[in-house]
With several copies, the nearest count.
Chain A
Amino acid sequence: EDQIYIPLISKGFQHQFWQAVKTGADQAAAEFGVRITFEGPDNETVVDRQIDMLAAALANKPQAIGFAALDSQAAIPLLRQASEAGIPIVAFDSGVDSDIPVSTTTTNNRAAASLAADKMAKLIGGKGNVAVVAHDQTSRTGIDRRDGFIERIQSNYPSINVVTIQYGAGDQLKSTELTKAILTANPDLAGIFGTNEGSANGVVNGVREMNRRGLVVIGYDSGKAQKDAIRNGLMAGAITQNPVGIGYETVKAAVFAVKGKTLPLTIDTGFYYYDATNIDDPEIAAVLYD
Chain B
Amino acid sequence: MTASVKPEYHKTLFFRLLGIGIHQKLLAFASLIILLIIFSVTSPNFMQTSNMIAILQAASVNGVLAIAVTLVIITGGIDLSVGTLMTFCAVIAGVVLTYWGMPLPLGILAALLAGALCGLCSGTFVAKMHIPPFIATLGMMLILKGLSLVISGTRPIYFNDTPGFDQIARGSVIGELIPSLPIPNGVLILFIVAITASYILNRTILGRYAFAIGSNEEAVRLSGVNTARWKMTIYALAGSICGIAGILIASRLNSAQPALGLGYELEAIAAVVIGGTSLSGGRGTIVGTLIGALIIATLTNGLRVLAVAQEWQTIVTGAIIILAVYADMLRRKNTA
Contacts and interface: CB of A to CB of B under 8 A. Distances in A.
Judged by CB atoms under 8 Å, the answer to whether A and B touch is yes
Interface of A: 7, 13-16, 19, 37-40, 42, 45-48, 51-53, 55-61, 71, 73-74, 76-77, 136-139, 163-167, 171-173, 176-178, 180-182, 184-187, 198, 201, 205, 209-210, 223-225, 228, 290
A19 B158 CA distance: 17
A58 B46 CA distance: 11
B51 A59 contact: yes
Given A71-B257, A209-B252, 9 more contacts: A39-B304, A45-B261, A51-B253, A52-B58, A59-B46, A176-B253, A185-B306, A185-B307, A223-B156
B155 interface: yes
Contacts of A38: 310
B304 A15 contact: no
A182 B304 contact: yes
Interface string B240-280: 00000000010011110111111100000000000000000
A204 B261 CA distance: 20
A193 B261 CA distance: 24
A290 B257 contact: no
Contacts of A177: 54, 58, 300-301, 304
Interface of B: 43, 45-46, 48, 50-51, 54, 57-58, 61, 149, 154-156, 158, 160, 166, 170, 184, 249, 252-255, 257-263, 300-301, 304-307, 310-311
B156 A173 contact: no
Contacts of A71: 156, 253, 255, 257
A171 B300 CA distance: 15
Nearest to A45: B259
Given A138-B258, A173-B61, A184-B48, A37 B307 contact: yes
B271 to A, nearest CB: 15
B260 A137 contact: no
Contact of B305 (A74, A139, A184): A184
Contact of A73 (B45, B50, B54, B255): B255
24 contacts: A14-B258, A16-B156, A39-B304, A40-B310, A47-B257, A48-B61, A51-B252, A53-B304, A56-B54, A56-B300, A58-B50, A59-B48, A59-B301, A60-B305, A61-B45, A74-B253, A137-B311, A138-B257, A163-B307, A166-B304, A181-B300, A184-B54, A185-B43, A198-B257
A37 B45 CA distance: 16
A225 B252 CA distance: 13
A171 B260 contact: yes
A13 B257 CA distance: 13
Nearest to B260: A45
B149 A56 contact: no
Nearest to B60: A48
B305 A181 contact: yes
A137 B154 contact: yes
Contacts, number: 174
B182 to A, nearest CB: 9
A137 B310 contact: yes
Nearest to A57: B304
Contacts of B306: 185
B190 to A, nearest CB: 14
Nearest to A19: B154
Contact of B156 (A58, A181, A225): A225
A47 B263 contact: no
A73 B43 contact: no
A138 B156 contact: yes
B149 A180 contact: no
A60 B158 contact: no
Contact of A14 (B46, B154, B305): B154
A138 B253 contact: no
Contacts of A163: 307
B307 A173 contact: no
A185 B304 contact: yes
B304 A56 contact: yes
Contacts of B57: 52, 55, 209
A177 B310 CA distance: 14
A184 B262 contact: no
Contact of B45 (A74, A164, A187, A228): A187
B252 A74 contact: yes
Contacts of A225: 156, 158, 254-255
Contact of B260 (A47, A164, A182): A47
B257 A172 contact: yes
B307 A164 contact: yes
A169 B167 CA distance: 26
B262 A45 contact: yes
